[in-house]
C-alpha cells in the first residue's frame, strides 16, 4: 500500500511541476556590425554561411551536413548530424524579407525532438552600420517543460547567441 501512495505522490508532483513549468521560451541577442545592411543581410540569408560563425559548428569539427534546395531561398534545408553537444536536426528557411528578416524553422531530432522558430533581423543604424538581432522561440511540451524549471534557456542559449554574433561581426568586419 505504501508503494501505491509513493507512486501517486510522484505522479502528482510531476503533474504539478508540469502545470507550473514554463510553456514557452524566447531568446534574443543583438549586436551592431560595421557594415551596410545589404552586405550583412546578403551574408546571413545563406544558411551554409552559418558554419563560419555559428558557435555550434565550432563544437563539432566532424559534423556531417546535408543540403536540400537552393541556399538563400525559401524552402532551403540545412540538415546536420553531430556529436552529443550539437545533436541532430535541420533548419529550413521559411520566409525572407530582403534587408529586414530571415525566418527559419529549427527541427531538432536528437538528443530530443523539438521545433523552434528562429529568426535574424537586421536594422540599419546608419549607412555603414547594421544592428543584427538573432533569436528563437517555441513551446515546451509536457514533460520537457519540467526540465525548464532546472535549466535557464535565456542564459544557456543566450550565451551561445552572443558568441555567435561576435563571430559573425568578426567575419563581416574582417
Residue ranges covered by each domain of the chain: 2-173
pLDDT tier for residue 49 given thresholds of 50, 70 and 90: very high
By the 8 A CB rule, do 92 and 104 touch?
yes
pLDDT of residue 59: 87
The residues, any chain, with a CB within 8 Å of residue 61's CB and separated by 6 or more, are none
Q: What is the pTM of this model?
A: 0.82
Round to whole Å and give the CA distance between 131 and 114: 29
Please name the residue that has the C-alpha cell 557594415.
Answer: 35
pLDDT of 16-43, one tens digit each? 666 666 677 788 999 999 999 999 999 9
pLDDT of 71-103, one tens digit each? 999 999 999 999 988 899 999 999 999 999 999
The 3-class SS string of 114-139 reads: EEEEEEEEEEEEECCEEEEEEEEEEE
Report the CATH fold assignment for 2-173: Alpha-D-Glucose-1,6-Bisphosphate; Chain A, domain 4 (3.30.530)
Helix or strand (DSSP H, E) at 93: strand 88-97
Q: How far is CA 118 from CA 20, 85, 135, 152, 163, in A?
A: 25, 19, 6, 18, 17
pLDDT of 105-136, one tens digit each? 999 888 878 889 999 999 999 999 999 999 98
- Nearest CA to 44 out of 115, 116, 112, 103 is that of 103
pLDDT of 157-169, one tens digit each? 788 889 999 999 9
Amino acid at each position: 500500500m505504501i508503494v501505491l501512495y509513493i507512486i501517486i505522490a510522484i505522479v502528482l508532483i510531476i503533474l504539478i511541476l508540469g502545470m507550473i513549468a514554463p510553456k514557452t521560451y524566447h531568446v534574443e541577442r543583438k549586436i551592431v556590425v560595421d557594415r551596410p545592411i545589404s552586405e550583412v543581410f546578403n551574408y546571413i540569408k545563406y544558411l551554409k554561411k552559418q558554419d563560419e560563425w555559428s558557435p555550434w559548428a565550432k563544437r563539432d569539427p566532424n559534423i556531417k551536413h546535408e543540403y536540400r534546395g537552393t541556399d538563400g531561398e525559401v524552402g532551403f534545408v540545412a540538415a546536420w548530424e553531430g556529436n552529443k553537444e550539437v545533436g541532430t536536426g535541420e533548419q529550413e528557411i521559411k520566409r525572407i524579407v530582403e534587408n529586414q528578416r530571415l525566418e527559419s524553422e529549427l527541427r531538432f531530432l536528437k538528443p530530443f525532438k523539438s521545433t523552434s522558430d528562429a529568426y535574424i533581423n537586421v536594422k540599419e543604424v546608419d549607412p555603414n552600420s547594421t544592428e543584427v538581432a538573432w533569436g528563437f522561440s517555441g513551446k515546451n511540451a509536457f514533460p520537457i517543460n519540467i526540465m525548464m524549471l532546472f535549466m535557464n534557456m535565456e542564459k544557456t542559449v543566450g550565451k551561445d547567441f552572443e558568441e555567435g554574433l561576435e563571430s559573425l561581426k568578426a567575419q563581416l568586419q574582417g
